[in-house]
């Protein structure tokens, strides 16, 4: 049913409650997990030495996060590929669905309420609206909580 699972991750993220779910689906369906992180830089809009340095740090953080998770999933026996792409997260995820041939997307959702939800929205919410494949959303714990199987640090 699921041959390719897309697992989007934030470059600066630490915890991701969606990882154990992607791992479980991959094990059950003998699927490949595609870990993708969007290095959302504004380098293409602005220029200068500080922007270039910022872009490099963001891209490096994204690569570190992808490497960390691909190693973790590989050690668990999951077939995994890692990808870092430049650009806005929503566009990167939309492109990654097509490029990887993903059958399902598994991603975390911060459960914002009230005004912050209205003003901020979320990438996950937008992906749910535009995705041509099913999207599994996994609630992220608050900073005080810990999810079994998730990383120890809060995102």
Give the model confidence (pLDDT) of 74-122 as tens digits: 999 999 999 999 888 999 999 999 999 999 999 988 765 555 444 445 8
Per the structure block, which two tokens stand in for 22? 């992607």
Give yes or no for residue 155 having a pLDDT over 90.
no
Q: How sure is the predictor about 12, in pLDDT bands with cuts at 50, 70 and 90?
A: confident
Residue 41 has a pLDDT of: 65
pLDDT, tens only, 15-71: 688 999 999 999 999 999 999 999 876 654 445 555 557 778 888 999 999 999 999
SS3 107: strand
Residue 140 has a pLDDT of: 80
- How many of the other CB atoms lie within 10 Å of CB of 34? 24
Residue 148 has a pLDDT of: 46
């Amino acid at each position: 049913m699921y041959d390719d699972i897309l697992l989007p991750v934030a470059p600066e993220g630490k915890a991701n409650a969606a990882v154990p779910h992607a791992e479980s689906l991959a094990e059950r369906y003998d699927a490949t997990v595609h870990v993708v992180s969007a290095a959302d830089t504004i380098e293409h809009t602005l220029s200068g030495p500080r922007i270039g340095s910022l872009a490099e740090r963001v891209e490096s953080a994204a690569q570190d996060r992808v490497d960390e998770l691909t190693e973790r999933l590989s050690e668990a026996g999951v077939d995994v590929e890692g990808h870092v792409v430049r650009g806005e997260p929503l566009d990167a995820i939309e492109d990654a669905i097509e490029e990887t041939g993903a059958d399902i997307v598994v991603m975390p959702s911060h459960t914002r309420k009230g005004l912050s939800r209205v003003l901020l929205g979320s990438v996950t919410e937008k992906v749910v609206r535009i995705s041509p494949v099913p999207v599994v959303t996994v609630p992220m714990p608050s900073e005080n909580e810990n999810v079994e199987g998730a990383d120890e640090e809060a995102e």
